[in-house]
């Protein structure tokens, strides 16, 4: 039981360490490649998003590697209805 708990803690620690290293690199170099609206953003914005980037690093890394330059557009029933020109 103790070995399992230690393994889980070690995995979470590794995930957090990789996430923090990625986040620092991402907010300094990669953010403008994934979201063009963030180009020219200040230090305050970058510090605010740092924890989220560290937590979501696998998703952001895949977007950065694929070269996706714009966030996805949300697709839900309301947007689909508005696109089709139908009334609510």
pLDDT, residue 87, reads: 63
Distance of CA 33 to the CA centre of its chain: 12
Per-residue pLDDT of 68-77, as tens digits, reads 777 777 788 8
Owning domain of residue 61? 2-72
Of 72, 63, 58, nearest to 33 by C-alpha is 63
Q: What pLDDT is attached to residue 86?
A: 66
Q: What average pLDDT does range 25-36 have in this prediction? A: 87
In a domain, 82, yes or no: no
pLDDT value at residue 38: 82
Is 78 inside any structural domain?
A: no
Alpha carbon 25 to chain centroid distance?
13
Q: Indicate whether 1 pLDDT > 80.
A: no
Task: Read off the pLDDT band of 88 (50, 70, 90).
Answer: low
Give the pLDDT band (50/70/90) at residue 16: very high
Distances, alpha carbon 52 to alpha carbons 78, 84, 87, in Å: 27, 34, 37
21 assigned to some structural domain: yes
* Counted domains in the chain: 1
| Within-domain flag for 79 | no
């Amino acid at each position: 039981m103790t070995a399992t708990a230690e393994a889980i803690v070690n995995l979470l620690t590794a995930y957090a360490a990789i996430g923090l290293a990625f986040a620092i690199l991402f907010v300094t170099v990669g953010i403008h490649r994934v979201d063009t609206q963030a180009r020219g953003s200040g230090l305050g914005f970058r510090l605010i998003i740092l924890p989220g980037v560290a937590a979501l690093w696998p998703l952001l890394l895949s977007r950065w590697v694929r070269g996706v330059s714009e966030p996805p557009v949300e697709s839900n029933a309301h947007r689909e209805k508005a696109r089709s020109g139908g009334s609510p």
